[in-house]
Amino acid sequence: METVRVGSVEEFAPLPARKVVEIGGEEVGVFRLDDGFYAWRNNCPHQGGPVCQGRIYNRVLETLDAGRRSLGRRYDEERVNIVCPWHGLEYDIRTGRHPGNDGMALEPVAVQVQNGEVYVSL
């Protein structure tokens, strides 16, 4: 396993921020949210798309009232998804999981911060 510097913490702004890097032929997306850093292989489990190079969207929710009637959709302010630009599959940036299918998830990469620098190991 090799540890590689991705950049300084300050580079990851404004939030949500991301840096997609190439390390010896492997592509990794490093994300910074308000509670820390997350890193995933840039490879969508659906069809191998460049998932980490997609757009970032908050998760969409649907609100029901007490009578189970729909009140329409809204954005979840906490959960943030990365969207694969090939086919639109969304993955929670914190968990790597598809919001509608727990069995579908991104491959994690170890990420750490030391002395204001961000490193990944793979």
Partner 1 sequence: MDAAIRTASAMPVQEMGTETDTRDYLAHARTHARKAGYADWTIVDIDAHHVETVHWHEIIDYIEDPVLRHQATMYQKERIGAPPYGLNGDLGLRYQDVGGRIPHQSSRREKVDEPGVHLDVALTRRAMDALCVDYMVLFPTPMLFIGMHPQVEMEAVLSNAYNRWLAENVLSAEDGILSLAVLPFNSPDAACRTVEEFGANPNVIGFTVTSTRYKPVHSNEYMRLYRMIEETGKPIAFHAGYHWQDPSLATCNSFLGMHALGFVWCNLVHMTNWILNGIPERFPKLNSLWVESGLSWVPFLMQRLDDQYLMRQSEAPLLTKMPSDYMRESCFYTCQPLEKSSEVGLKATLEMINAETQLLYASDWPHFDFDAPRAIYDIPFLTEDQKRNILGRNAARLFNLPKKDSARKAA
Q: By CB under 8 A, tell whether 76 contacts partner 1.
A: no
Report the 10 Å Cβ neighbour count for 13: 9
Q: For the chain, count helices (H), then strands (E).
A: 0, 11
Residue 47 backbone dihedrals phi, psi, to 5 degrees:
-140, 20
Q: By CB under 8 A, tell whether 28 contacts partner 1.
A: yes
Minimum Å distance from CB 20 to partner 1?
4
- For partner 1, give the closer residue by CB, 9 or 57: 57
109 within 8 A of 41, measured Cβ to Cβ: yes
Instruction: Compose the 84-113 pattern: x for residues touching partner 1 by CB under 8 A, - for all others.
Output: -xxxx-x-----------------------
Minimum Å distance from CB 81 to partner 1?
9
Cis amide bond preceding 14, omega within 30:
yes
37 within 8 A of 12, measured Cβ to Cβ: yes
- For partner 1, give the closer residue by CB, 9 or 21: 21
For binding to partner 1 (CB under 8 A), which residues are involved? 3-7, 18-23, 27-28, 42-43, 47-50, 53-55, 57, 83, 85-88, 90, 114-115, 117, 119-120
